Structure 1
Amino acid sequence: MNAIDPAIHVAAANIRLDGVTKSYGKMPIIPNLDVEFRAGEFTVVLGPSGCGKSTLMQMIAGLERVSGGRIVIDGREVQELEPKERGCAMVFQNYALYPHMTVFDNIAYSLKIAGMTKAERRVRVELVAKMLGLTEYLGRKPSQLSGGQRQRVAIGRAIVREPSVLLFDEPLSNLDAQLRHDTRVELAELHRRIGATTVFVTHDQVEAMTLADRILILNKGEIEQYDTPKAIYHNPASVFVARFIGSPPMNILPVSGDGTVLRLSDGQAVAECRLKGSFQLGIRPEDIAVYTTTNASALRADVRYHEDLGSHSILAADLSGTMVRITTPFGSQAPDSNVLLLSCPQQRLHLFDAVTGRAIAGVFTAATKEKK
């Protein structure tokens, strides 16, 4: 890890939302939110379209007014302050660059408005341009740049002010797959170098898992889980999280418990369990083992299709009326028949309430332990 860059070094601020609500008329977007973003951390706000993540970002920035509650940045209430008074800088999905200005002038614009001298502006812009690999493009217009270069200009315009909070609203959505990957690496490096508190909104789980110190998962304006990427992947707090994180996502199977074992709808016993009633059982595709020889205790499933992705394969199979996906590593032999014999290791299973979808902890001895 690189040390924080002394040239562009900010005083990272803690962000706290206390009972924040947002409604449009009678329609609640965020019912009641209490959350804290730690100073200096890279937090990713993740969720499907319409879950309230961009609204949350815009309320922190001051582009949307809260309907209720408090937003506290670095110990100061800001919900009634104008955006320019909050110490935040925001990078948008569409870059929002001035087309008639050069790269230098786009980056320097906020410094000019703030009254900084021309000499001071030049020093600051050249430092940022060097950091972002834009030095040779300072004289160009945005139309002469690639999508990735424009995004770096937008980031440069944000960090040149040395804000205590950096806000990113789906900044990589307009980039192709390879460029998204490269820009993710640059963003992670940038965060380590400047040390600002960073809040990054996305619907892309890969961005969340690779960039975040912690991930906040929203569902209809409410928090499903707020934890490290590793904890969220291996210990999802709900069926929603389990299905949202992972590619392919976690398999969810309806099961019933008789106080001894959990059974699938066709009666196959899948795990020992002392609970009674109806539940939802989760297991990740990579945690399902495929038997290559006959085994009396194996679960039987019917193969529906097989995807060979080079590095691994994905098998889709009908298990007791539910479609499950199994990932197998490179070199694994594809099944010769249409019937799969499966094993679900008990220490890899997750149990969820059938009604609320919330995780039930401590049911399986090792289910709550993270993989090593």
Structure 2
Amino acid sequence: MTASIHSTAQGIRLKGVTKSYDGAHQTIPPMDLEMRAGEFTVILGPSGCGKSTLLQMLAGLERVTAGTIEIGGREVQDLEPKARGLAMVFQNYALYPHMTVAENIGYSLRVAGMGKTERAAKVQAVAGMLGLGDLLVRKPSQLSGGQRQRVAIGRAIIREPGVLLFDEPLSNLDAQLRHDMRLELGELHRRIGATSVFVTHDQVEAMTLADRILILSKGRIEQFDTPKAIYSRPASTFVARFIGAPPMNILQVSGDGHRLRLADGQVLAASPLRGDFQLGIRPEDILLIKDAPLRARLRYREDLGSHSVLTATMDLAEIRIATPFGAAPPEGSDLALRFPPEKLHLFDTAGLRVETTFAESRVFS
């Protein structure tokens, strides 16, 4: 008997969802959010931003203080976790140590009363998808960290849930295993078709796995968009600094109606704007060109093999510049820089994106 594993994806909608533990401070302020059926959503943010709390409210492990959660068009905020039609993969695997791999994977089906033959076929199908076919008789203590994580994933997907939740499942793995598991999770998502919601603080996981990334800060949504849009058009300085390695450079500038200048008078771009702003440019977009108009002093160079990251001082602010390996001058050198106008990002003094265009200025002082 053969079996296959495939889920009917369910959309998720939050309407005015809040979470407060003491009745005063809101860990999650009112949130409206929609995750499309079949989408891989990554919830990204620093420690304490509310991402795990949000995931646990979806799972039913945390009570919603106010608002509604819909999964597949059905309100679930008052339902027990087992009645929500979802499954969750935890950071610590949470496997039964006395059970074999096969028994761990098939446990929920046994509890549900599925027959032994059908259950065994489902276990074999899941094990085949996850490369566990030769390990079914082993106990968790006989497995590597990556293998235990695969078993935990297998235990979740065997129920063919409409929604799969992942709570930082790769954080206990070393760098190579994290890379390998990212590839496997992306392929698994495409094969089983469930709506996936994945919590992490790792921007590489977010950028490589997500259809859309939900970036949180202090429980609030900073931006919810595709990885490409978030990288190329960050909605705030928080997003600009959080995404990218090294992060985007942010410089304080002022406009006189003709040009944007640093406090030391250096002109960064032609612009009709007036007032104080924050100008952003990514390290890889800064050009080192002889006789370029902008000046900085190189303080430190990090050689990373494929490229170098330069830390320089410009108008008393530190900036970082990514250059090809071996192309950087010695530390202490004066640098001539060009900021291509099409690579600039503008934010107001509150840190929110300002939509505008720039031109090259012929005046540089």
Distance 2:331 2:164 in 1: 54
**TM-score, with normalisation over the residues of structure 1?**
0.94
Describe the SS at the equivalent of 1:137. coil
Distance 2:307 2:36 in 1: 38
The aligned runs of 1:1-372 (5 Å cut-off) are 7-25=4-22, 26-291=24-289, 293-295=290-292, 298-335=293-330, 338-354=333-349, 356-364=350-358
**CA deviation after TM superposition for structure 1 residue 171, in Å:** 0.3
Describe the SS at the equivalent of 1:153. helix
Structure 1 270/32 Cα, relative in aligned 2: closer, same or farther at 3 Å?
A: same
Counterpart position of 1:370: none
Describe the SS at the equivalent of 1:270. strand
Query: Is the CA contact (8 Å cut-off) linking 1:262 and 1:272 kept in structure 2?
Result: yes
Describe the SS at the equivalent of 2:141. helix
The letter of the residue matching 2:20 is S
**CA deviation after TM superposition for structure 1 residue 332, in Å:** 2.4
Query: What do the CA deviations read for 1:87-115 (whole angstroms, capped 9, x no partner)?
Result: 01000000001111111111111111111
Structure 1 321/238 Cα, relative in aligned 2: closer, same or farther at 3 Å?
A: same
Distance 2:80 2:359 in 1: 52
Structure 1 332/119 Cα, relative in aligned 2: closer, same or farther at 3 Å?
A: same
The letter of the residue matching 1:68 is A
**CA deviation after TM superposition for structure 1 residue 362, in Å:** 2.4
The letter of the residue matching 1:180 is R
Query: Is the CA contact (8 Å cut-off) linking 1:351 and 1:363 kept in structure 2?
Result: no
Runs of 4+ in 1 over 6 A off after TM superposition: none
**CA deviation after TM superposition for structure 1 residue 225, in Å:** 0.3
The letter of the residue matching 1:258 is D
The letter of the residue matching 1:14 is G
Where do 5+ consecutive residues of structure 1 fail to align?
A: 1-5, 367-372
Where do 5+ consecutive residues of structure 2 fail to align?
A: 361-365
The letter of the residue matching 1:302 is R
Q: State the percentage of identical aligned residues.
A: 69
**TM-score, with normalisation over the residues of structure 2?**
0.96
Query: What do the CA deviations read for 1:167-225 (whole angstroms, capped 9, x no partner)?
Result: 00000000000100000000000001001000000000000000000000011111000
Distance 1:331 1:195 in 2: 45
Q: How many residues align?
A: 357
The letter of the residue matching 1:334 is P
Distance 1:282 1:337 in 2: 24
